[in-house]
Chains A and B, each alone.
Chain A
Amino acid sequence: MTIEQVIQYIFSGITIGSIYAIVAIGFNIIYNATGIINFAQGEFIMLGGMIAFSINKFLSTFIIYKSISLFITILVSIVITIIIGALLEILFIRRLKKPSILQMVVITIGLSMLIREIALNVWNEQIRALPFFTGNEISSINIFGAHISPQVLWVAGVTTLIVIILSIFFKYTIIGKAMRACSANKTSAILCGINIKNMVTLSFMISAGIGALAGCVVSPLTQTSYDMGSPLAIKGFTVAIFGGLGNSTAAVYAGLLLGILESFSISILPNAYTDVIAIIILLFVLFFRPSGLFISKEKGELKEF
């Protein structure tokens, strides 16, 4: 393996790793606010990409400048997905009184199936993609002899931006602090005058928005199809567990690690087995270190699995 190949693999690993990290962050936000895992998280990414594709097709007929139409497209698609996320929460989750974990798992799995099937009927089984943000399919940037698409930089940049904005939001804004309070102790949060139900809705909206943004950014590279959601959700969960559930910064490291591992595994194993590698890692982490790699052992022992 030459040095150029190694760099090439690392960059492709960073690309897919960033996508996983964004999914994992979406998991973490909802987990932090409610203590549940939203199995429909991958569907938000699919919806973001699919809606953006349709809007872009519509807009590009009368807006000549590609960049303007793309910008509006992404913005509108994020807003629509946020509304969908809020509706899902209000319709299906808000009305539950003291839901058990089994109940939540089953409901979110049901939702993901429902969204997928509706997407199949609204769009179809065709694979779609947004245009590249800068350049096109063949344009590439030369970094140390490796050729990468400029879209890779977009993906990495958006991931970094999301992480920074989220950590500022959770640390320094009052709403972010309220959301963290909900995850720490629900009863005390209620006593402090926090409206827990609204916080849960907000968490669904944020993770839907992040998912939609990710769906738009990766669409030129990985394409969007109606069934991309559930594999992404499994990978995203792997990453979330890998970094420790609820820890968004660690999720980024874990995502990059998994992405790079996966892209190197392609050089040894057939492409069909890349999923298997990720999931075997997930199983091993779950068995031996369910609190995640980036959390100290003492802290991990306090959690219950």
Chain B
Amino acid sequence: MNYKRYLPVVIFLIIIIFIQLLTFVLKVNFYLTQLTMAAYYSIAVIGLCMLMGYAGQISLGQAGFFAIGGYTTAFLTTLNLIKFNDFGLIKFFHEIGIFTLGKNVYGNEILHFSPMISFFLAIFISAAIAFLIGIPVLKLKGHYLAMATLGFGTIIYSTVKGTRFFGEADGITNIPGFKILPGLTVSGNFTERIQNYYIAWFFVIIGLIILINLINSRTGRALRALHGCEPAANAMGINTSRYKLNVFVLSAIYASIAGFLLTHYNSGIGPSEASISKSVRYVAIVAAGGMANIWGTLITGLILNFLSLRGVFGSYDDAVFGIILILIMIFDPSGQVRNTFFNNNYLLKPFKKLIKKER
């Protein structure tokens, strides 16, 4: 077992617990709400980091997949099927738990899809769309790839904004919480704030561990080879189009899970989550984190999203991300400066000394 690989994860976990205790001591519990949301955005961002940083394929459609996840569950868990409750099939589904009974704000009973089912449906739908879109899109390179993914993002944005049952410009609200286990619910309930903070980071860390393993595996090496030079990677026997497609689907699944969880946490979703500026924001975070650097991406994503959600940037919110993009691309496009800063060894230095002393 390679412990070194997981040491940063453990340290990260300690930092997370420390932050929670800090907010408790400083009596700024409300910061946890933004931190939880930032955690969910981080899931989408680390997925994009895999695609953009490691495989070198720019995608301006990440918010589209985020919205697919969010809107799938929003639609399914607010769809009222109570009228059909007497039909045999629906009744059967209700009994085995595919549908659950809930109450809306007016106190009327509604029969909707169980969030657990919509969770898997959201993953399935976004993976299927990513697969179908990915086959032709990933043949393109450079500008063409950027524009095609941007076009995909715009299609999703215009569709959710213009379709009646997706709530048009208002979006969908009153989404029930996502019960993972009895007593553990993803919801925006103020009393469950601390619990939700940890649930969010649980998901982030699970996603992170999967990606860390992937990066340090044969697949990860193949992806980096593909980033370096595609024809060379092909010549080495790497099925580049297969790898590109797989990582595209993977990043779509990450985005869709992030969208799913954030939708349940906020108990609502609007078309702005699908907008182009959100996609560009994810790209900015990956670029700022050092491209092929999952820790850098995670940490910058957490900080920038947290500041943005706290409203620190005011009405220049998007402009800040634009400036970050420009400055980084002008002065440090390959991410050398940031990679040395966010390097595992750099971050682990103080801890390594500790470990040595103990021995």
When the two chains form their complex, are residues A110 and B162 in contact, meaning their CB atoms are under 8 A apart? no
When the two chains form their complex, are residues A279 and B154 in contact, meaning their CB atoms are under 8 A apart? yes
Q: Which 5 A-B pairs have the closest CB atoms?
A: A272-B162, A113-B322, A110-B325, A117-B319, A101-B142
Give B293 Cβ to nearest chain A Cβ, in Å: 16
Give the nearest-CB partner of A36 in chain B. Answer: B143
When the two chains form their complex, are residues A270 and B162 in contact, meaning their CB atoms are under 8 A apart? yes
When the two chains form their complex, are residues B318 and A282 in contact, meaning their CB atoms are under 8 A apart? no
When the two chains form their complex, are residues B316 and A106 in contact, meaning their CB atoms are under 8 A apart? no
Give the nearest-CB partner of A108 in chain B. Answer: B326
Which residues of chain A come closer than 8 Å to B276, judged between CB atoms?
A: 230
With known contacts A113-B319, A230-B276, A286-B147, A102–B142 Cβ distance under 8 A? yes
Other 16 A-B pairs with CB < 8 A, given A109-B60, A121-B316: A102-B56, A106-B58, A106-B325, A109-B283, A112-B322, A113-B277, A116-B318, A117-B322, A234-B150, A272-B158, A272-B162, A279-B152, A280-B155, A286-B136, A287-B136, A305-B141
B312-348 vs A: 1/0 string, CB under 8 Å? 0001111101111110011001000000000000000
Which residues of chain A come closer than 8 Å to B152, judged between CB atoms?
A: 279, 283
Which residues of chain A come closer than 8 Å to B159, judged between CB atoms?
A: 273, 276
Give A202 Cβ to nearest chain B Cβ, in Å: 21
When the two chains form their complex, are residues A283 and B162 in contact, meaning their CB atoms are under 8 A apart? no
Which residues of chain A come closer than 8 Å to B141, judged between CB atoms?
A: 101, 304-305
A66-74, A92-100, A157-165, A192-200: which one contacts chain B?
Answer: A92-100
Q: Does A114 contact B (CB under 8 A)?
A: yes
With known contacts A102-B142, A105-B58, A105-B143, A111–B322 Cβ distance under 8 A? yes
Q: How many residues of B contact A (CB 8 A)?
A: 45
Which residues of chain B from 44 to 71 have any CB-CB distance to chain A below 8 Å in the complex? 56, 58, 60
Q: Does A60 contact B (CB under 8 A)?
A: no
Q: Does A4 contact B (CB under 8 A)?
A: no
When the two chains form their complex, are residues B322 and A290 in contact, meaning their CB atoms are under 8 A apart? no
How far is B277's CA from A36's CA once the two chains are assembled, in angstroms? 21
When the two chains form their complex, are residues B151 and A282 in contact, meaning their CB atoms are under 8 A apart? yes
B124-161 vs A: 1/0 string, CB under 8 Å? 00000000000011011111101110111011001101
Which residues of chain B come closer than 8 Å to A110, judged between CB atoms?
A: 280, 284, 321-326, 329
Give A127 Cβ to nearest chain B Cβ, in Å: 16
Q: Could you name 27 residue pairs across A and B whose Cβ atoms are closer than 8 Å?
A: A102-B142, A103-B329, A103-B333, A106-B329, A107-B330, A110-B323, A110-B326, A110-B329, A116-B318, A117-B316, A118-B319, A237-B147, A271-B162, A272-B162, A272-B168, A273-B159, A273-B162, A275-B154, A276-B154, A279-B152, A279-B154, A279-B158, A282-B147, A283-B136, A290-B140, A305-B139, A305-B144
Give the nearest-CB partner of B321 in chain A. Answer: A113
Select the residue from B140, B143, B319, B324 with max chain A CB neighbours within 10 A.
B143
How far is B330's CA from A110's CA once the two chains are assembled, in angstroms? 11
When the two chains form their complex, are residues A101 and B158 in contact, meaning their CB atoms are under 8 A apart? no
How far is B53's CA from A102's CA once the two chains are assembled, in angstroms? 11
Q: Does A190 contact B (CB under 8 A)?
A: no
When the two chains form their complex, are residues A234 and B154 in contact, meaning their CB atoms are under 8 A apart? yes
Which residues of chain A come closer than 8 Å to B56, judged between CB atoms?
A: 102
Give A223 Cβ to nearest chain B Cβ, in Å: 18
How far is B341's CA from A55's CA once the two chains are assembled, in angstroms? 48
Residue numbers of B with Cβ under 8 A of A are 56, 58, 60, 136-137, 139-144, 146-148, 150-152, 154-155, 158-159, 161-163, 168, 276-277, 280, 283-284, 287, 315-319, 321-326, 329-330, 333
Give B130 Cβ to nearest chain A Cβ, in Å: 14
Q: Does A37 contact B (CB under 8 A)?
A: yes
Give the nearest-CB partner of A272 in chain B. Answer: B162
Give B317 Cβ to nearest chain A Cβ, in Å: 8
Select the residue from B152, B159, B322, B333 with max chain A CB neighbours within 10 A.
B322
Q: Does A63 contact B (CB under 8 A)?
A: no
Q: Does A120 contact B (CB under 8 A)?
A: yes
Select the residue from B139, B146, B329 with max chain A CB neighbours within 10 A.
B329
When the two chains form their complex, are residues A117 and B318 in contact, meaning their CB atoms are under 8 A apart? yes
When the two chains form their complex, are residues A107 and B162 in contact, meaning their CB atoms are under 8 A apart? no
Give B338 Cβ to nearest chain A Cβ, in Å: 15
When the two chains form their complex, are residues B161 and A105 in contact, meaning their CB atoms are under 8 A apart? no
Which residues of chain A from 29 to 87 have any CB-CB distance to chain B below 8 Å in the complex? 36-37
How far is B276's CA from A281's CA once the two chains are assembled, in angstroms? 19
How far is B327's CA from A95's CA once the two chains are assembled, in angstroms? 12
Give A235 Cβ to nearest chain B Cβ, in Å: 10
When the two chains form their complex, are residues A113 and B143 in contact, meaning their CB atoms are under 8 A apart? no
Give the nearest-CB partner of A288 in chain B. Answer: B136
Contact of A106 among B139, B163, B287, B318 (CB under 8 A): B287
A266-305 vs B: 1/0 string, CB under 8 Å? 0000111101100110110011001000000000000011
Give A95 Cβ to nearest chain B Cβ, in Å: 7
Which residues of chain A come closer than 8 Å to B333, judged between CB atoms?
A: 99-100, 103
Which residues of chain B come closer than 8 Å to A276, judged between CB atoms?
A: 154-155, 158-159, 162
When the two chains form their complex, are residues A273 and B158 in contact, meaning their CB atoms are under 8 A apart? yes
How far is B147's CA from A280's CA once the two chains are assembled, in angstroms? 12
Which residues of chain B come closer than 8 Å to A107, judged between CB atoms?
A: 325-326, 329-330
When the two chains form their complex, are residues B151 and A279 in contact, meaning their CB atoms are under 8 A apart? yes
A129-169 vs B: 1/0 string, CB under 8 Å? 00000000000000000000000000000000000000000
Give A143 Cβ to nearest chain B Cβ, in Å: 32
How far is B58's CA from A290's CA once the two chains are assembled, in angstroms? 18
Give the nearest-CB partner of A280 in chain B. Answer: B155
Give A106 Cβ to nearest chain B Cβ, in Å: 5
Contact of A114 among B58, B155, B319 (CB under 8 A): B319
How far is B317's CA from A121's CA once the two chains are assembled, in angstroms? 11
Give B62 Cβ to nearest chain A Cβ, in Å: 13
How far is B166's CA from A270's CA once the two chains are assembled, in angstroms? 15
